[in-house]
Amino acid sequence: MIANKKKVKREGKEFPILVYPEKCTGCRTCQVRCSIRYLGEFNPFRSYVIVARDHGKRTTALDFTDDCTWCGYCARFCAYGALVLKKSVKSGKGGR
Ligand code: SF4
Ligand code: SF4
């Protein structure tokens, strides 16, 4: 059986991001950053973080695809505190 690359990358890791969907503005910066890093293209809709904005209710759901490697990179660029790196919380540095 061929080793699953993303599972190898996740092995022994704890999911590194705290998620606060109520703070999300739907800016999609996290998606752009992930897509550039992993796909080499500016395409938020192919990224491994899912931002599902309900404009009517003004709410957002945040989720991660199975391809997400749990690298935490996207959370470094969330300016609104919706994705926060766990180590940033511990060090009191906020989400960036
Ligand atoms: S999680 Fe943060 S970076 Fe991503 S869309 Fe929401 S506010 Fe923007
Ligand atoms: S944790 Fe890494 S792989 Fe997962 S969505 Fe964020 S940038 Fe993409």
DSSP output for 10-78 = HTTPPP-EEE-GGG-----HHHHHHHHHHHSS--GGGSSEEEEEETTTTEEEEEE-TT-----TGGGG-
With respect to residue 88, please indicate whether it lies within any of the assigned structural domains.
no
Between the CA of 56 and the centroid of ligand 2 the distance, in Å, is 27
With respect to residue 89, please indicate whether it lies within any of the assigned structural domains.
no
With respect to residue 92, please indicate whether it lies within any of the assigned structural domains.
no
- Give residue-wise pLDDT tens across range 4-19: 666 677 888 899 999 9
With respect to residue 40, please indicate whether it lies within any of the assigned structural domains.
yes
Q: Assess whether the C-beta atom of 80 lies below 6 angstroms from ligand 2.
A: no
- Give residue-wise pLDDT tens across range 19-55: 999 999 999 999 999 999 999 999 999 999 999 999 8
Give residue 63's pLDDT: 98
With respect to residue 64, please indicate whether it lies within any of the assigned structural domains.
yes
With respect to residue 19, please indicate whether it lies within any of the assigned structural domains.
yes
* Dmax (CA) of the chain: 46
Tokens of 69: 């490697």
pTM: 0.85
Atom number, ligand 1, closest to the C-alpha of residue 49: 4
Helix (H) or strand (E) holding 85: strand 83-85
**Residue ranges making up the domain that contains 9:** 5-81
Quote the number of domains for the chain.
Answer: 1
With respect to residue 63, please indicate whether it lies within any of the assigned structural domains.
yes
**1 confidence band (pLDDT: 50, 70, 90):** very low
Closest residue (by CA) to atom 8 of ligand 1? 27
With respect to residue 94, please indicate whether it lies within any of the assigned structural domains.
no
Mean pLDDT, rounded, for 63-87: 96
